[in-house]
Amino acid sequence: MMNSGVQLDSQITMADHIAELNQLFFFHLRWLRTVKQSLMLDTTKTLVHALLAVLWMAATVYLLVSAVKYYKSLKGKIKVVPNEHWVRR
């Protein structure tokens, strides 16, 4: 399934999407190494930070999706009992 550019497989792991992002990240990092002599230091830093931000966001989404999947797998198996401290007096 493809939604907003994010690929979800049947297990909702996004493993293929993360692997593809990883490949793209290292491709662009290697490309930056070859052209960094032509760029100003600030420009190079900005590009590296942008690449890291994209990879960080993808990892965050992956963790959130994994947490939701784990929560759904536990749903119905865990009984939540109110704690006496939760009740207002």
Domain ranges for the chain, please list them.
2-74
Res 74 pLDDT > 50:
yes
Range with lowest mean pLDDT among 12-16, 56-60, 74-78: 12-16
SS3 content of the chain, % helix, strand, coil (to 5): 65, 5, 30
pTM: 0.53
User: By C-alpha distance, which of 53, 22, 47 is closest to 32?
Assistant: 47
Res 6 pLDDT > 60:
no
CA 32 to CA 42: how far, in whole Å?
13
What whole-number percentage of the chain has pLDDT above 90?
A: 4
- Looking at the chain, which runs of residues are DSSP E strands? 2-3, 6-7
pLDDT of residue 1: 43
